[in-house]
Amino acid sequence: MLRSLLIASLLVLTPAQVQANPTAETQEGAFLDLVDGEGNVLVQGKGVDAVNASARAQGLRFPALGYWSPEGHCFVKPAPGDCNGVFRR
């Protein structure tokens, strides 16, 4: 019984860690870990919309694993500067 509960809890919580929050930036350390992940691709653009457009043009998988910018403005519109996103091939 305890084993079944543990497995069910793990299955419920695991997808939440994999998906990116589409309206918030990932913490820098966690984002850098994603960049280093095998099969992951870093995409840059001026704001999240430009990052997503570039990722679509490259045929990358959605949703993004995470977004980050040094200034914290990926989701500011109009975008004042560059944003980074990590996607899977």
What is the reported pTM? 0.75
Query: Using CA of residue 72, residue 79, residue 16, residue 56, what is the dihedral sign?
Result: negative
Give the span between the Cα atoms of 41 and 57, in whole angstroms.
13
Give the span between the Cα atoms of 29 and 3, in whole angstroms.
33
In a domain, 3, yes or no: no
In a domain, 65, yes or no: yes
- Structural domain containing residue 67: 19-88
| Count: domains in the chain | 1
Instruction: Give the per-residue pLDDT at 23.
Output: 79
pLDDT, one tens digit per residue, over 44-80 is 999 999 999 999 999 999 999 999 999 999 999 999 9
